[in-house]
Structure 1
Amino acid sequence: MPQDRIKTIGRSRIQYGPLSDRVYLMQLAAGEAEAVITAMAELAQAEGYTKLFAKIPGKNAAVFEDAGFEIEAQIPDFYADGDKALFVSRFICKNRRRSCDAERIQKVLEAALKRAGAGIRHPLPSDWDLTFMTADRAEQMAALYSRVFDSYPFPIFDADYIRHSMDENFRYFGILQNATLIALASAERIESGVEMTDFATAPKHRRASLAAHLLAAMEADARQNGVKTAFTIARAVSYGINIMFARAGYTFGGTLVNNTNISGRVQSMNIWYKPLAPCPSNG
């Protein structure tokens, strides 16, 4: 199945397509809420998509709620002006609102919250190298993503896409063992926040807490670049990724039901967020 596509509506940006069977408003420009909602609904009707999904400033909540959207998750104090970020959805098909994984999702969340703030479990081996990734490793990065994921909402299996994303607002970090890439993640700058995403670890190293070390490195980098809030959109059925964010001090922000095609099927996703204290000055 082809990757979902990205396009602009006015100055706003959406992603849409059959892979995740949705229209996703990724960035809403000021003054465009009503026009974008109309365009999203028309596109979903024309293509038969079953969910409209949007990340919006809290000040736009009423417009979206009047149009049939409901709040699924939120991040307080996300935007530069102090407004919260809301994740809102309109379910066009009632079956899309029902999660077949609801019981497991609740158990995962309970397990994660029990470990809140516990920190990193294992030290990184001294002979492994955690490093900022550059474009010359894009082929190696795409290969690792292809090994780890059966499907993904963005074309991370394509080295050209990775190179292009580096030229925009993505910063990738990886862990090397004897020059071989064994773990990878990215930090995407979004407004005054940063999304910690694209975590992938080679199967034989999945018990080494490598993702937690990558997360810590990306947080430090984000602080140095003046980012005030970190967040993630994590697979709600995954014990490992949810526990990792809880251990790292992230707060649960809500569940996006049947939202994203990842690892072979459309899955529900959890929002976790964390305020990033600024780096102390050297003066």
Structure 2
Amino acid sequence: MDFIGRFEEIAGALKALAGTEKMGKIIVYTPPEKKDEPETCGYMEEGIIRRYYAGKDCHIYSNYPESSREISFHKEKEDRIIKNCLRKDRGTGKNQKKKKISRKKDNWKKRKEKSRLPEGYTLRPAVQADASAMASLYSQGFELYPTPLHMENYILETMHSNVLYFLVEKYGKIVSLASAEMDPKNRNAEITDCLTIPSERGKGHMKELIRALEKELSERSFLISYTLCRASAPGINAAFSSLGYAFTGRLVNNCRIGNGFEDMNIWCRML
């Protein structure tokens, strides 16, 4: 929900609701001018989404009514993944300043480039006729997920709202897919629902999907794209890092994916 008053006016209600519903974590998205208010109420900042509010940063604060939820059980592994991503990024010899200066030029260049997919593979926007196969693929790929992607009706419904789905096919069979949840008011979009079947991983499909989504978002005048991706998954973090996304925080035990709650890394990029 959206709230425009002082945070202390709603902090008590959030705590009470968390107790009633047995919620282990409260998450608050805060604009820059309000970012100090959650901290005074016992919240801690976990990350930032750059330019989230139509060009202004979003500060993400969390509070843990359930103390065990605050513990990151795989912190060392997740830190190593980020360290490796950033090391590889530095190894390209392109610093962030140069990337920002040349980004507009690079975007135009990318629009002219053909897909890097091998012969037999096709990248395209998903259509209604794909919904059943997409739902089946998602149900196989995720035991648990924050949204009901295993339901064909849900995918069809989101296709008609502000969600873009793109997919990669191999000789007509879907092997990889991702989406962008668009916020037209604030001109941001979250790259999410990323999945590649096991036999096709490591072939660069996800990077191509992300590029395609970015291109479409840029043409629609969105300002930024960002993602909250599984902190323990090296491949997806490496994909976003290699495409020029900046790591801006980690949300501990943030959502249910796979076998339970997982930490999520935040990656952002200006379009």
How does the TM-score come out when normalised to structure 1? Answer: 0.82
Residue 214 of structure 2 corresponds to residue 219 of structure 1: yes
Unpaired runs of 5+ residues, structure 1, are 1-11, 13-27, 277-283
1:59, 1:83 within 8 Å by CA — same for their partners in 2? no
Q: Secondary structure at the match of 2:240?
A: helix
Alpha-carbon separation, structure 2, partners of 1:141 and 1:35? 43
Q: Kindly report which structure 2 residues correspond to 1:84-233, keeping only aligned pairs within 5 A, or say none.
A: 84-116=57-89, 123-190=116-183, 191-233=186-228
- Paired position in structure 2 for 1:240: 235
Equivalent pair of 2:19/2:65 in contact (CA under 8 Å): no
2:41 corresponds to 1:67: yes
Map 1:23-42 to 2 at 5 A.
28-31=2-5, 33=7, 36-42=10-16
User: Cα 1:225–1:33, aligned 2, differ >3 Å: closer, same or farther?
Assistant: farther
CA offsets, 1:84-109, max 9 Å, x none? 11111001122222211011011111
Superposition RMSD in Å: 2.0
Match of 2:244 among 240, 249, 271: 249
Distance across 2 between alignment mates of 1:135 and 1:54: 34
C-alpha change, 1:135 and 1:33, in structure 2 (3 Å) is: farther
Using the aligned pairs only, state the percent identity: 30
SS at match of 1:204: helix
Aligned twin of 2:254? 259
Aligned partner of residue 183 in structure 1, secondary structure: strand
The residue that corresponds to 1:22 in the other structure is none
The reply to whether residue 272 of structure 1 matches residue 267 of structure 2 is: yes
Distance 1:241 1:110 in 2: 14
AA aligned opposite 1:207: G
Partner of residue 17, structure 1: none
Distance, in Å, in 2 between the alignment partners of 1:213 and 1:32 is 43
Shift of 1:35: 5.6
Shift of 1:83: 1.8
Cα displacement (A) at 1:32: 7.7
Q: Deviations over 1:201-252 (max 9, x none)?
A: 1111012111110000000001000011110001111110111110010000
3-state secondary structure, aligned to 1:84: strand
CA–CA distance in structure 1, aligned partners of residues 125 and 87 of structure 2: 32
Specify whether residues 177 and 35 from structure 1 end up closer, same or farther in structure 2 by C-alpha distance, changes over 3 A only: farther
Structure 2 unaligned runs (5+)?
Answer: 95-114
Letter in 1 for 2:196: T
Distance 2:193 2:9 in 1: 31
Amino acid at match of 1:185: A
1:34 Cα shift? Answer: 5.1
Is the CA contact (8 Å cut-off) linking 1:175 and 1:183 kept in structure 2?
A: yes
Residue deviations 1:159-209 (CA, integer Å, cap 9, x gap): 111111111110000011121111110001122211000001111101211
Instruction: Rate the CA distance shift 1:161–1:32 in 2: closer, same or farther, 3 A.
Output: farther
Cα distance between partner residues in 1 of 2:63 and 2:11: 10
Aligned residues: 248
Contact 1:108 1:239 in 2 (8 A): yes
User: What residue in structure 2 maps to residue 4 of structure 1?
Assistant: none
Distance of aligned partners of 1:38 and 1:170 in 2 relative to their CA distance in 1, 3 Å threshold: farther
